Amino acid sequence: MSNLFYFTPEQQEIARRTDLVGLLRARGETIKPSGSEFEWLDQGQKVTIRRNLWYHQYEQVGGDAVGFVRRFMGKTYVEAMEYLLQCNGEPLPERPVRKQEPFVLPAANENLNRVFAYLVNQRGLDREIVYAFVHRRMIFESARHHNAVFVGYDKDGVPRHAHKRSTAKEGSYKCNVAGSQPEYSFHWQGAGDRLYLFEAPIDLLSYLTLHPAGWQEQSYAAACSVSDKVLFQMLRDNPRIKNVCICFDSDEPGQAAAQRISDNLFLRGIHSEVLVPTRKDWNEDLVFGRKEP
């Protein structure tokens, strides 16, 4: 069920029409009358308010009460709706229960010919590093589509996550297997005190290819997204880890997520640093370096 249809039309209208002046005053905010309207400052920038509507004078954007709570209070749509309904004394509807799909690994191919050709020849990864993960059954080739499958295990050695990546030369297909638990995405546990966090398995393997000296001693994880769930699961499972290197892509989403995670680690007293690839990601750095004369 979509979040947009989680609330009834009546509930959506009640939330949308919430009086913003009363809401802000209840939060202790300073609101100044300005003719028939009111003014509120967003980090020094004027926002004009009229009943349930607002308009940001500097950015020239506006909306209703739901949009206000989402924008200025940092809430999702569902969180904003629930917050406004509570402000209006309305009972909250029960959240729909999502059925968790069972996690099942794809059937494995009898060999890894296409996976090795893709990872080593096309992506430029070190064969021995790839084999180290294959030996631990963390990489295999799917039987049906010959995808590269990157497997994550829990601390008891039970597979909990799998990420599929097309091995076709021009293929862009990639996704997580249904039922995967992001806390256990593709990762390597070392005995050292340092953890390196990446967006994708191929970026992780590219970094190891670029920096192979003693790599087995440290820990590495690929979030298969820009999530921090696998990071904090590994910190819980491995108390030896004292330093975290966040190695996300150099683009805006990657660096925004890296800063968010770094701030979260700081609040928990964990040292971190952000390592940024020269190009978009670590595999591009690796492949470009191979092409240099």
Q: Residue 2's pLDDT is what? A: 44
Check whether 1 has a pLDDT greater than 60: no
pLDDT for 11-30, tens place per residue?
A: 899 999 999 998 888 888 88
16 near 27, Cβ under 8 Å?
no
Check whether 228 has a pLDDT greater than 60: yes
Q: How many residues are present in the chain?
A: 293
Q: Residue 135's pLDDT is what? A: 97
Q: What is the mean pLDDT of residues 85-94?
A: 80
Q: What is the mean pLDDT of residues 80-103?
A: 79
* Confidence band of 75 (pLDDT split at 50, 70, 90): confident
pTM, entire model: 0.68
* Confidence band of 124 (pLDDT split at 50, 70, 90): very high
| Vertex 143: Cα angle to 121 and 128 (nearest 5) | 35
DSSP H stretches of helix in the chain? 9-16, 20-26, 65-73, 77-87, 113-116, 127-135, 201-210, 229-237, 252-267, 282-291
Name the residue among 288, 261, 293 with its Cα closest to residue 275: 261
Check whether 5 has a pLDDT greater than 80: no
Burial of 42 (0-12, 13-18, 19+ CB in 10 A): middle
Name the residue among 204, 185, 186 with its Cα closest to residue 196: 204
Which residues fall within 8 angstroms of residue 63, CB to CB, at 6 or more apart?
53, 54, 71
pLDDT for 261-272, tens place per residue?
A: 999 899 889 999
Q: What is the mean pLDDT of residues 196-217?
A: 97
pLDDT for 163-204, tens place per residue?
A: 999 998 877 888 999 999 999 999 999 999 999 999 999 999
Residue 243: which region, alpha, beta or left (left: phi > 0; alpha: psi -120 to 50)? beta
In the chain, the domains with their CATH numbers are: 6-87 (3.90.580.10), 113-291 (3.40.1360.10)
pLDDT for 40-72, tens place per residue?
A: 887 778 889 999 999 888 878 889 999 998 888
Q: Residue 3's pLDDT is what? A: 45
Check whether 4 has a pLDDT greater than 60: no
Check whether 226 has a pLDDT greater than 50: yes
Mean pLDDT over the full length of the chain? 90
pLDDT for 92-120, tens place per residue?
A: 776 666 667 799 999 999 999 999 999 99
